[in-house]
Homo-oligomer: A and B are copies of this chain.
Amino acid sequence: MTAKRRDTRQRAVIWHALDEAPGPLTVEELFGVASQQLPRLGIATVYRTVKMLEEDGEIVLVKLPDGLSRYEPASREEHRHFSCTRCTRTFDVDLGPQWPNEVELAGGFVIQHHEVTLFGLCPECRQ
């Protein structure tokens, strides 16, 4: 279904920014980073590009409880998201304890998957 994609500078810069980041980036953060290398970049292009990359399975959408859309490379191994309550940046951290899937809860609810977001202080902010 995926249409033919062209190799553009915008796509490369945006992908690179995501690949370098220590965790998922919001469109706004991505726009800030990418704009430095592409001054005429429009925010709409960022939105369209992340949608394409997501369609192509190169990146994944991460939704944290703040409601903002964040993206990160799909290639990262399974992990949790840690949101710093001070600097508000989001990091990838190790998986840690698991939650049982396909388990039936009292009341007849069947869990298919779950999402955990950790909140606290990142190494820089705890100082």
Contact A116 B116 (CB under 8 A): yes
The answer to whether A109 and B123 touch across the interface, beta carbons within 8 angstroms, is yes
A40 within 8 A of B: no
Report the contact-size class of chain A (Cβ under 8 Å from the partner): 35 or more
CA distance A106 to B108 in the complex (A): 37
Contact B93 A109 (CB under 8 A): yes
Give the contacts of A26-77 with B (CB-CB under 8 A): 63-69
Neighbouring B residues of A113 by C-beta, 8 Å: 119-120
Interchain CB contact under 8 A, B119 and A112 = yes
A28 to chain B, nearest CB (A): 15
Which of A4-12, A13-21, A94-102 interfaces with chain B? Answer: A94-102
Contact A121 B93 (CB under 8 A): no
Q: How far is the CA of A66 from the CA of B64 in the complex (A)?
A: 8
Q: How far is the CB of A60 from chain B (nearest CB, A)?
A: 13
Shortest A76–chain B CB gap in Å is 15
Is the CB–CB distance between B120 and A107 below 8 Å?
no
State whether the Cβ of A117 lies closer than 8 Å to any Cβ in chain B. Answer: yes
**Chain A residues near B (Cβ < 8 Å):** 63-69, 82, 85, 91, 93-94, 96-97, 99-100, 105-123, 126
